[in-house]
Structure 1
Amino acid sequence: MAVLTDEQTMLRDMAREWASNESPVTAWRKVRDANEAAGFDPAAFGTMAEMGWTGIIIPEAHGGSDFGWLSLGLVIEELGKTMTASPLAASAVAASAILLGGSDEQKSAYLPRIANGELVATLAVDEGGRHDPGKIAASVSGGKLSGEKAFVAEGDSAGLFVVAASDGLYLVEAGEGVSVSRRHLADFRSHAAVSFDGAPAAKLEAGGERLLDAVLDRAAVLAAAEMLGMAGQSFDTTLAYLKQRVQFGQVLATFQALQHRMANLFSEIELMRSAVEAGLAAIDRGGDTRAAASLAKAKANEVGHLMSRELIQLHGGIGMTDEYDAGFYLKRMRVVEQMWGNAAYHRERFARLSGF
């Protein structure tokens, strides 16, 4: 477990208190039932911006707090516990692309608006059903970008897209040449198919040939942080249920077989935490983040899948009902598991980076 500063502890506790009191799972139910394309509560996101969360990784010169990726990960983890939907992670990843590859003019134009929550930004990379940044067909000619992006998180509400093209990353504003189509996935969040047809585009010139890799690392680790929050909450919910559910005249938690399963889950989640926090810390340190990011996402995918499956199984029939919260965690976990690379993708990437 990472050693937190006093300021990071305060931030984590503030996020935990706000999420528990102001954005519990019942709030997500209201968002889900409203069935809006944006997939989040704008008022709640406005509150996050007022608390400074939208500017955590943005430098003070551009309106942020420059508090680091571990700090942002702590917030994302707490929001994951209560299924709080927001474009916080997507905007942070897009902001990181501008920070790493943008010009001074681009930074000044977009970062302050992302930091204060005025602008929702997102990353548009994948063009098929699986994460594969090596296969990018979108192209730019004469400053106009054309191509299709199959699954763009928060694409329905984004005002700015960081788009992967065949020759690098480009900034494209919503509007001219941009068409957004809503996708309906199991988690009921915003996932859009976005078509670019001669959209005005400005290239992120800095950052070098590994710019896309660096940005995707940040996206993967933030996704892993959300999964960590969901896994931790799923464990706590399951443990509480086993302690009060009586079957065959005994409390379920007294059965040794179930105790062993819960002990294994606890150990796996702690390993997951170590990998995720190491990934966040690696980004804060700078340098090559690829191995740490792939380790974090691979472990998060494996443990998140296991914990969400056990969440349903150990709750039995009630876990399958919409009246109970377990299904929300299972559905969201399965979607995030595929975002920015599944376990097989990141295991292979980690092995390749390690020389195997």
Structure 2
Amino acid sequence: MSTEPDLLYTEEEEALRAAVRDLLTDHCAAPDVIARTESDAPHDLALWKTLAATMGLAGLLVPEELGGQGATHREAAVVLEELGRSVAPVPYLTSAVVATEALLACGDTELLTQLATGRSVGALAVALHHAPGAAHRTVRVENGTLHGELTGIADAAAADVLLVPGDDGGLYAVTADAVTVTPQTSLDLTRPLATVALDGAAARRLGDAEPAVRRALRAAAGLLASEQLGVADWALTETVRYLKERKQFNRPVGGFQALKHRLAQLWLEVVNLRAAARAAADALASGEDTDVSVAVAQAYAAPVAVHATEEALQLHGGLGMTWEHPIHLYLKRAKADSLAYGTAGAHREALAGLVGLQAP
């Protein structure tokens, strides 16, 4: 008989949160993130090295015998909340979750160890917008080499190894120097997309693509809700803080009843999102009701994160419209995340099928 999951944060999870938040406070200040988006090096690889190698966070989902931490999706979710709170331009979701889950499905110990220890960054060459279970593009396999082009690949520019699905049903490992990565114009400047072109790229078959991609995208969709929670929570917290300081007619703007109602509504949405995100992380960790929990979390997360960041932009007034204030980074991340790993509508449709409530 299954017991009710405990969705409260454990002491260990709170300690992990405090450590990650301290690091991001010191090394991921908003002006630095904004400056990085204007450069030709959007990823903060020094911060990634500290997170991945020094703190060991890249290996949370990897067993200890393979150089990982042997933790669960609950701990990875806490890290993603904090990364969302600072819109950190690091390939954590794409390498430490998506690529790692695909490799766990294939059982490739060599690459898993490299990713877990932070020696390599991995990227699954499936477009960011694909939902778990949706058909995805493949490349042509010919005598052990790969030919074709894949678009919308998140964090491909930071990857050392790409995991590429072939038209023969296999998943292949290709080193970054064997492909051509061309940046695409991305709404979210902190998680850039790229086109990956393969022209006879040498590749090593890892295993079957279908179960590996499905597992990777399901974990990605479930844990993305925790990143969206971090984004929404930052937007709410910063807006409340600003409205307490900002005065109009010699009164704090936050005291106006209409704004109080908007903030109260937003607080309720964020609290509900926290419950949904925690449930998805716990389900991924325990393996119980995973598909339903992930679909519920993603059906709910995107609208809340977008609403929270839109409210933050509006309620900061003219200041919110400036490039120097980081709100635009959060709004763009929320908008981009609302399409990542399936839209809210796609997840609602999947949920209807899972619980037998399809439309007539």
Q: Is structure 2 residue 106 aligned with structure 1 residue 78?
A: no
Deviations along 1:154-200, whole A, 9 cap, x unmatched? 10121111223442533222233x22101131222321111223323
Deviations along 1:121-145, whole A, 9 cap, x unmatched? 011113xx95363143434343333
Aligned-pair CA distance for 1:288: 6.1
Bigger mean CA offset, 209-218 vs 315-324: 209-218
RMSD of aligned Cα (Å): 2.0
Partner of residue 18 from structure 2, selected from 6, 9, 13: 13
Q: Does structure 1 conserve the Cα–Cα contact (< 8 Å) formed by 2:146 and 2:200?
A: yes
Deviations along 1:183-221, whole A, 9 cap, x unmatched? 1312223211112233233334369x5432221011112
Q: Does structure 2 conserve the Cα–Cα contact (< 8 Å) formed by 1:120 and 1:159?
A: yes
Structure 2 unpaired stretches of 5+: 1-5
Q: Is structure 2 residue 174 aligned with structure 1 residue 169?
A: no
C-alpha distance in structure 2 between counterparts of 1:304 and 1:114, whole Å: 29
Counterparts in 2 of 1:288 and 1:148: CA distance versus 1, 3 Å: farther
C-alpha distance in structure 2 between counterparts of 1:301 and 1:347, whole Å: 12
Q: Does structure 2 conserve the Cα–Cα contact (< 8 Å) formed by 1:54 and 1:117?
A: yes
Bigger mean CA offset, 342-351 vs 229-238: 342-351
Deviations along 1:274-324, whole A, 9 cap, x unmatched? 111111111111266322222222211110111111111111221111121
Counterparts in 2 of 1:115 and 1:24: CA distance versus 1, 3 Å: same
Bigger mean CA offset, 192-201 vs 65-74: 192-201
AA in 2 matched with 1:215: A
Counterparts in 2 of 1:249 and 1:5: CA distance versus 1, 3 Å: closer
C-alpha distance in structure 2 between counterparts of 1:172 and 1:232, whole Å: 38
Partner of 2:3: none
C-alpha distance in structure 2 between counterparts of 1:211 and 1:90, whole Å: 14
C-alpha distance in structure 2 between counterparts of 1:58 and 1:142, whole Å: 32
Partner of 1:29: 34
Q: Is structure 2 residue 67 aligned with structure 1 residue 68?
A: no
C-alpha distance in structure 2 between counterparts of 1:34 and 1:160, whole Å: 23
Q: Does structure 1 conserve the Cα–Cα contact (< 8 Å) formed by 2:31 and 2:324?
A: no
Partner of 1:303: 304
Report the TM-score when normalising by structure 2: 0.90
Counterparts in 2 of 1:252 and 1:22: CA distance versus 1, 3 Å: same
C-alpha distance in structure 2 between counterparts of 1:206 and 1:8, whole Å: 34
Deviations along 1:73-118, whole A, 9 cap, x unmatched? 101111211121101211121011111123xxx31x2112111211
AA in 2 matched with 1:32: T
C-alpha distance in structure 2 between counterparts of 1:148 and 1:223, whole Å: 26
Q: Does structure 1 conserve the Cα–Cα contact (< 8 Å) formed by 2:138 and 2:165?
A: no
Counterparts in 2 of 1:165 and 1:343: CA distance versus 1, 3 Å: farther
Q: Does structure 2 conserve the Cα–Cα contact (< 8 Å) formed by 1:214 and 1:290?
A: no
Q: Identity over aligned residues, as a percent?
A: 34
Q: Does structure 2 conserve the Cα–Cα contact (< 8 Å) formed by 1:234 and 1:307?
A: yes
Aligned pairs, number:
346
Q: Is structure 2 residue 98 aligned with structure 1 residue 96?
A: no
Q: Is structure 2 residue 120 aligned with structure 1 residue 119?
A: yes
